[in-house]
């Protein structure tokens, strides 16, 4: 009886130690995911400010979105402006897509050859949308880790 109880206590202690190690590793992952999420947010904000303050005229001159023939850039809403920038991203970095949003962007910007677009136009667009999509992924990972760590009832 005593040996069974001692064995049960030892196994319980081992389970507690394993649980503490798992939680410790998850907290480390949580801090890394939070750091990456904040880094993505800062990169997105800086890229957006850089594009809107310095590069937008040059980007629009190079890419020539068809919507800009209807209305000038300054008269578009923020949603339309970000949609146009997303079309630029899809055309530059997914030029062979045929379906969905990426395919629509490739149809609208068929006159743009992605290999001829200068790097000074590509990099701000990549920084904006790459960090935005990576930030979304980091947010999902962050929420999953929070659910696993704090939902141990």
User: Is residue 102 predicted with pLDDT exceeding 80?
Assistant: yes
User: Is residue 96 predicted with pLDDT exceeding 60?
Assistant: yes
User: What stretches of 51-118 show up as alpha helix (H) in DSSP?
Assistant: 56-63, 78-93, 100-108
User: Is residue 6 predicted with pLDDT exceeding 60?
Assistant: no
- Tens-digit pLDDT profile for residues 14-37: 666 666 777 777 778 888 888 888
User: Is residue 8 predicted with pLDDT exceeding 80?
Assistant: no
User: Is residue 131 predicted with pLDDT exceeding 90?
Assistant: yes
DSSP 82: H
What is the percent of the chain where pLDDT is above 70? 86
Name which residue leads in pLDDT, 47 or 1: 47
- Angle at the Cα of 138 from the Cα atoms of 45 and 95, rounded to 5 degrees: 70
Cα gap 130→123, rounded to integer Å: 10
**Weakest-pLDDT range from 22-26, 59-63, 67-71, 106-110:** 22-26
Answer positive or negative: Cα dihedral of 111, 79, 82, 59. Answer: positive
Q: With contact defined as beta carbons under 8 Å apart, do 130 and 86 qualify? A: no
pLDDT score, position 85:
92
Rounded to an integer, the average pLDDT of 83-105 is 90
């Amino acid at each position: 009886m005593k040996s069974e109880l001692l064995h049960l206590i030892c196994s319980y202690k081992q389970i507690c130690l394993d649980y503490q190690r798992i939680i410790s590793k998850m907290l480390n992952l949580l801090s890394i995911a939070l750091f990456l999420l904040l880094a993505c947010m800062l990169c997105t904000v800086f890229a957006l400010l850089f594009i809107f303050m310095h590069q937008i005229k040059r980007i629009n001159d190079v890419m020539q979105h068809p919507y800009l023939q209807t209305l000038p850039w300054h008269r578009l809403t923020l949603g339309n402006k970000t949609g146009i920038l997303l079309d630029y991203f899809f055309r530059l970095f997914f030029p062979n897509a045929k379906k969905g949003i990426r395919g629509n962007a490739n149809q609208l910007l068929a006159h743009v050859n992605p290999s001829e677009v200068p790097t000074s136009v590509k990099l701000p667009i990549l920084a904006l949308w790459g960090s935005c999509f990576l930030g979304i992924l980091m947010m999902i990972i962050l929420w999953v880790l929070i659910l696993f760590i704090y939902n141990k009832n």
